[in-house]
Amino acid sequence: MHKDGLDEYKAGINIAGRNINNLRHAEDTTLMAESEEELKDLLMRVKEESAKAALLLNVKKTKIMANSNLSSWQIDGEDVEEVTDFIFLGSKISSDGDCSHEIKRRLLLGRKAMASFDKLIKTKNQRYYTISKGPHSKNYGIPSSNIQM
């Protein structure tokens, strides 16, 4: 994909003086443009360059999102699904820019992680001993009341 000139292509979004028109992770590519026409041109460029490498664009998996109304999109006679949000690298991206759902999700994940510590720490007065083996020591979570000396 680097050889197709996407990085030098003028369509995209200007962020901190850099033109960003695609984000890639594994086999997924997210294309970005400031106008619907630029996005269509960018998508067709990717489709054409992919075909040169014997790769096909799966239209059924292709989605489009915009922060304004879009005309209906078709690729090779198939409609492209319009979405209002999608997950990118584990984070929810929404067309309205609302990130409250993502903040709540991350807070719940943090609470869940903290709740799991309650299982490890039963009481603050209970003592635990560390057993040392070689250069690394490990806490096996053995309460002092269970160790016979």
CA distance 140 to 62: 49
Contacts of 43 (CB under 8 A, 6+ apart): 31, 75
pLDDT, averaged across the chain: 76
Q: Give the model's pLDDT for residue 5.
A: 56
For residue 21, give both structure tokens.
Answer: 């028109």
3-state secondary structure of 76: coil
Residue 31 CB coordination number (10 Å): 20
Q: Give the model's pLDDT for residue 2.
A: 44
Q: How far is CA 98 from the centre of its chain?
A: 16
Q: Give the model's pLDDT for residue 1.
A: 44
Q: Give the model's pLDDT for residue 44.
A: 86
* Tens place of pLDDT per residue across the chain (149 aa): 444 556 666 778 888 888 888 888 777 788 888 888 888 888 888 888 888 889 888 888 888 888 887 778 888 888 888 888 888 888 888 888 888 888 898 899 888 888 877 766 655 556 656 555 555 545 555 555 555 54
Q: Which residue has the tokens 């998508």?
A: 43
| Cβ atoms of residues 88 and 30 within 8 Å | yes
CA distance 138 to 122: 19
Q: Give the model's pLDDT for residue 15.
A: 81
Q: What percent of the chain shows pLDDT beyond 70?
A: 72
Q: Which of 73, 48, 49, 71 is nearest to 63 (CA)?
A: 73
End-to-end CA distance of the chain: 66
pTM: 0.57
Measured torsion, CA atoms of residues 102, 108, 110, 112, in degrees rounded to the nearest 10? -150
Residue 127 CB coordination number (10 Å): 9
